[in-house]
Amino acid sequence: MLLFLNIPNIVKEIRKQNKAYKFLILIIIVFLQLDVSAQDKTLPYSVNTYRYINYDSCYLENFGNNHQMEIFFKKLDDLCFDGTGQISILHLGGSHIQAGIWSWELRKKFENLCPGMEGAPGMVFPFSIASTNHPYYYKSSFKGKWDIAKITDKEPAEKIGLAGMTAFTEDTVAEIIISFNPAANIEKHKFNKISIFHNVEDTAYLLSVYPEEFLDSCMENKVVGASEYYFSKDLDSVKIRVVKQDTSRSKFYFYGAFLQNSKPGICYNGIGINGASTHSYLKAEYFKQHLTLLNPDLAILSIGVNDASGPAFSEDNYIKNYSKILEMIREVNPDCAIIFTTNNDFYYYRGGSNMHYNEVYSGMLKLAEDYGCSVWNMFKVMGGLKSINLWKKDKLANNDRIHFTRDGYTLIASLFFDAILRDYETYLRKHAVDNEIKD
């Protein structure tokens, strides 16, 4: 019988009700979704399937005042129950995030809390120019001769922005095309604003964004270093074309594109570069400048495997590097909630075990205490030291015993969301009682 209920209409009616009943409402929605979404397994909490996973340890460790998480939950509250506002999430990391599965699955988890929370795709980059893997939900193609600089280069040849890579060209005509794979379900994530991060001060190149017939207006945002294009129609792909206007030796620098829309929803930005460490992101000169446009409400920081993958790891240097990243995030938005995810259990490429787990975890705890953040202990949740072998045995981890399979990343996303959802439930319980007392 529940299969015939119109959940969007139910939510509309719910949003008219007294906020004292929010927690009860959440339970009702989750119950309905359990039935309606059973065919695609979008459950609110993970099922205890694997004996080696420490489900009881799947919670956030919160430190300091951490009032930013309360602010984030309030925005989630308004979006879910009032249908108002937009939420920006930044998920920063290395190859785990470049793969895109973990971050996109988390996006879906947030969106499934209530109907109508789908947001635009967020940050994208043409990884095909670098001959490397895209996040699995989109792809790119290009024309012309482009070169690449990366934050993982020992000494990057060009300046780099938030995306972690820069594509640059001297060609007379060059193009970049971004489109989306079926996994993106782009019909629910269309966009009508495109911000192109590039060298806006250089007038040697004419930049055009297609389809031009739907272009309403465009402007240069020199503060963040982007050209912003507004469209009258929601788009599902974009073509960027640059034409050189003179004979100078100047280059066009493309730092990434930010795809947005004007509707309430969640814009989840997964930004990851294979091999990136905390030190790598400090090479991104325009990191903070570009981050200003994203203005994240929540930053999920999953950097550490590449820091800790050798004998020369230093907890002090790790803390110093991460502190600089945290400072940039909080300078952009002092109210941004921050969650660290510890390294997964893994093996070094030379066959060593994850010997630096304790220092990584200790460093994150110190940072969380100093900056008022949360920590999710993925290492402990997945089963601790050498548990990656069990994940590999169950086809949840790859043969390299560092990365996960698609099923593994999906499970990691579910477990992590469990931890966030438990704190959100606590928030709803508290505020439901507070509102009832006031009423």
Let me know: does 207 contact 240? Beta carbons within 8 Å.
Answer: yes
What's the CATH architecture for 120-262?
Sandwich (2.60)
Sheet holding 205-210, edge to edge: 138-143, 173-180, 238-244, 205-210
Lowest pLDDT segment from 214-218, 338-342, 394-398, 426-430: 426-430
Check for a shared fold between 1-119+265-439 and 120-262. no
- Confidence check: pLDDT of 45 > 80: no
Task: Enumerate the H helices of 309-399 as residue ranges.
Answer: 315-332, 357-371, 378-381, 388-393
Q: Please state, as a whole number, how many other Cβ atoms lie within 10 Å of the Cβ of residue 168.
A: 21
Structure confidence at residue 431 (pLDDT): 75
Alpha carbons 244 and 170: distance in angstroms, whole number: 8
Average pLDDT value for residue range 391-398:
95
Structure confidence at residue 232 (pLDDT): 96
What residues contact 426, with CB distance under 8 A and at least 6 apart? Answer: none
Comparing 30 with 423, which gets the higher pLDDT? 423
Comparing 102 with 21, which gets the higher pLDDT? 102
- Confidence check: pLDDT of 338 > 50: yes
- Confidence check: pLDDT of 376 > 50: yes
Structure confidence at residue 13 (pLDDT): 55
Confidence of residue 1 (pLDDT cuts 50, 70, 90): very low
Comparing 172 with 40, which gets the higher pLDDT? 172
Confidence of residue 31 (pLDDT cuts 50, 70, 90): very low
Structure confidence at residue 310 (pLDDT): 75
Structure confidence at residue 81 (pLDDT): 84
Lowest pLDDT segment from 125-139, 224-238, 389-403, 421-435: 421-435
Let me know: does 178 contact 138? Beta carbons within 8 Å.
Answer: yes
Average pLDDT value for residue range 410-427:
94
Let me know: does 343 contact 379? Beta carbons within 8 Å.
Answer: yes
Residue range 145-177, pLDDT digits in tens: 999 999 999 999 999 999 999 999 999 999 999
- CATH 3.40.630.30: does it fit domain 1-119+265-439? no
> Global pTM?
0.90
3-state secondary structure of 23: helix
Domain boundaries, the chain: 1-119+265-439, 120-262
Residue range 310-320, pLDDT digits in tens: 778 899 999 99
Bond preceding residue 211 cis, omega within 30 of 0: yes
Structure confidence at residue 357 (pLDDT): 87
Average pLDDT value for residue range 186-215:
96
- Cα angle vertex 308, ends 306, 311, to 5°? 120
pLDDT cut 70: percent of the chain above it: 86
Average pLDDT value for residue range 54-67:
92
Average pLDDT value for residue range 199-219:
95
Confidence of residue 4 (pLDDT cuts 50, 70, 90): very low
